[in-house]
Amino acid sequence: MSEAPSFNHRIPALLLLAALLLTVLVYYPGLGGDFVFDDSWNIGTNQDVHINELSLSSLSSAASSGQAGPLGRPLSMASFALNYYFSELNPWAYKATNLAIHLVTGCAIYLFVVLLLGAQAPIRANGLAGNHIRLAAALVAALWLLHPLNLTSVLYVVQRMTSLASLFMVLALIAYVYGRSRQIKGQKGALAILSSVLVFTPIAVLCKENALLVPVYLLVIEWTIFRFKTTNNADKTWLRVFFASTVLLPGLAIATYLLVNPGVIQDSYLIRNFTLTERLYTEARVLWTYVRLIVLPTNAALGLFHDDIALSTGLLSPLTTLVSITGLVVLLAGAIAVRKSAPLISFGILFFLAGHSLESSIFGLEIAHEHRNYLPQLGLLIPAAAYLAGWIASPERRRLSITIAVAASLFLALTTFVRSSTWGDTIAFSYAELTHHPDSARANYQMGRIYASIAGTTPTTADYRKYAPLAEQHFIKAGQLQTNYTDGLFGLLILHSSNGSIAPARLIDQIEHTLSGHQPSANTINQLNNLVRCTLDNFCQIPAIDMDRIFSSILDNPDLKGRHRQLASGAIERFHTARPAG
Per the CB < 8 A criterion, the answer to whether 571 and 555 are in contact is no
For residue 376, the SS3 value is coil
**H or E element that contains 189:** none
Instruction: Please tell me the pTM assigned to this model.
Output: 0.91
Torsions phi, psi of 271, nearest 5?
-110, 20
Please give the Cα distance from 360 to 358 (Å, whole number). 6
The pLDDT value recorded for residue 121 is 63
Per the CB < 8 A criterion, the answer to whether 24 and 96 are in contact is no
Contacts of 448 (CB under 8 A, 6+ apart): 470, 471, 472, 473, 474, 475, 478, 488, 491, 495
Name the DSSP letter for residue 457: S
Please give the Cα distance from 65 to 529 (Å, whole number). 15
The pLDDT value recorded for residue 68 is 82
Contacts of 307 (CB under 8 A, 6+ apart): 366, 367, 440, 441, 442, 482
Please give the Cα distance from 447 to 435 (Å, whole number). 10
Contacts of 487 (CB under 8 A, 6+ apart): 441, 442, 445, 478, 521, 523, 527
For residue 314, the SS3 value is strand
Is the CATH number of domain 427-578 1.25.40?
yes
Q: For 364-386, write each residue's pLDDT tens digit.
A: 889 999 999 999 999 999 999 98
Residue type, 10: R
Please give the distance of CA 290 from its chain centroid, rounded to a whole number: 12
Per the CB < 8 A criterion, the answer to whether 401 and 407 are in contact is no
For residue 430, the SS3 value is helix
For residue 5, the tally of other CB atoms under 10 A from its CB is: 5
Spell out, as residue ranges, where the chain has pLDDT lower than 70: 1-8, 121-129, 499, 580-582
Per the CB < 8 A criterion, the answer to whether 392 and 360 are in contact is no
Cis check: omega of the bond before 318, within 30 degrees of 0: yes
Tell me the C-alpha to C-alpha distance, in Å, between residue 230 and each of 177, 216, 227, 358. 13, 20, 9, 31
Residue type, 256: T
The pLDDT value recorded for residue 142 is 96
Please give the Cα distance from 407 to 282 (Å, whole number). 33
For residue 186, the SS3 value is coil
Computed on alpha carbons and rounded to an integer, the radius of gyration of the chain in Å comes to 26
Domain boundaries, the chain: 12-35+89-416, 427-578
Side-chain half-sphere of 570: how many Cα atoms within 13 Å?
10
Please give the distance of CA 392 from its chain centroid, rounded to a whole number: 34
Please give the distance of CA 435 from its chain centroid, rounded to a whole number: 22
Please give the Cα distance from 59 to 65 (Å, whole number). 10
Please give the Cα distance from 304 to 152 (Å, whole number). 7
The pLDDT value recorded for residue 5 is 43
The pLDDT value recorded for residue 127 is 57
Contacts of 475 (CB under 8 A, 6+ apart): 444, 445, 448, 488, 489, 491, 492, 495
Please give the Cα distance from 25 to 292 (Å, whole number). 26
Q: For 79-133, write each residue's pLDDT tens digit.
A: 999 999 999 999 999 999 999 999 999 999 999 999 999 887 655 544 566 788 8
Contacts of 351 (CB under 8 A, 6+ apart): 217, 220, 221, 376, 378, 379, 382
